[in-house]
Amino acid sequence: MFDWYPGGGSADADLLPDLDLLTARSRDLTRNNGLMAGGIQTLRDNIVGAVLRLSSTPDYRLLGWSREKARDWGNNTEAHFRSWAETTECDAGRSLNLLGLTLQALSGSMVNGDGLGLPLWLPRPGSSWGTRIMMVESDRLATPSALAANPNIRGGIEFDQHGAPTFYNVRRTHPGDALGAWASGADEWERIPAFTAWGRRRVLHLHDKERTGQSRGKPIVAAVMREFHMAGKYSSNELEASVANSLVAAFLESNLDEESAGALFGQDPRAPGASRSSRRATCGACRARPSSRCPWVPRCRASRRAGPMPHSRRSCWPCCATSPRA
């Protein structure tokens, strides 16, 4: 370990310079590596599942309610929640329900390191609810170029003297959107307060904070990213080699007859795939292969159509070690 001297930087100093590269590699593994994609899907199924349901059980003792009142209030609240969460009314983009948004936030936190959501008030005609959630790709959370020298901004998040987030700087468009590179607002940021004036969160930031002072999260496979990539390349090369070997055909040209060629490659004349001529050239009693020096070879060949030849008192062929049958 004489050549192992890692740096001793802070949480942000160790992570933020490499975060963009780690995120891009993690997404590539999720798209093209079956093991990585299967692992992410398994975590999604085990953590969130297929149903997201509210279980409203208020503490009626603390509220001074009766048990019946708390049960009625909980049933009424659950019904209202289902009318919002199980429809696309909860999504600002009108495409997912709350379960879909939750799975998307979880996937973002595992693959990108951060899951970002913005609760918005968007009343719409014919809708019973005005509260909606807009999911934001973590790449849009970045420090503006003009504020890069500000030590209180880390990874697009502004902190106070106690380390609490105060503002989030979010780009209006994705930095990697090639189709919208020339659109208006491509290089503009929106400064969003972390809380409202009455204390409600304006930004939902889902990430694993492993160290004190860590502003952003890292992909879940950051520690084994190299091994996943090498395992994927190894499996692909093995599959390509197997396909190439299955397309190779070999041809043998020889002056040997069919029986000699079969014996050369270890073919059993009694096997189902052996030729008929090789099976006929065997002794009817001992089933031994004929020898070119055996005096009974012509007689055996002459009696092919008549069945096994009658044996004398001596061995039918020199290769037969057993006494012939009468």
Element (H, E) at 231: helix 225-246
According to the model, what pLDDT value does residue 318 have? 46
CA distances, 142 to each of 23, 156, 172, 173, 260 (Å): 14, 4, 11, 11, 77
According to the model, what pLDDT value does residue 184 have? 61
Instruction: Determine the residue type at 87.
Output: T
According to the model, what pLDDT value does residue 277 have? 47
Non-local CB neighbours of 177 within 8 Å, separated by 6+ positions: 186
Residue in the block written with tokens 């409202």: 196
According to the model, what pLDDT value does residue 279 have? 45
According to the model, what pLDDT value does residue 79 have? 94
CA distances, 10 to each of 14, 16, 48, 85, 157 (Å): 6, 10, 33, 40, 16
Phi/psi for 256 (5° steps) reads: -70, 150
Q: Are 106 and 116 in contact (CB under 8 A)?
A: no
Q: Are 290 and 281 in contact (CB under 8 A)?
A: yes
According to the model, what pLDDT value does residue 257 have? 77
Residue in the block written with tokens 């070997």: 245
In tens digits, what is the pLDDT along the chain, a chain of 326 residues?
777 888 888 999 999 999 999 999 999 999 998 889 999 999 999 999 889 999 999 999 999 999 999 999 999 999 999 999 999 999 999 999 999 999 999 999 999 999 999 999 999 998 889 999 999 999 999 999 888 888 899 999 999 999 999 999 999 888 888 776 566 666 788 999 999 999 899 999 999 999 998 999 999 999 999 999 998 889 889 988 888 888 776 666 778 777 777 777 665 555 555 544 444 444 444 444 554 445 544 444 444 444 444 444 444 444 444 444 43
Q: What's the token pair of residue 284?
A: 């009817």
Q: Are 70 and 61 in contact (CB under 8 A)?
A: no
According to the model, what pLDDT value does residue 258 have? 76
Element (H, E) at 12: helix 11-32
d(CA 96, CA 89): 8
d(CA 319, CA 89): 90
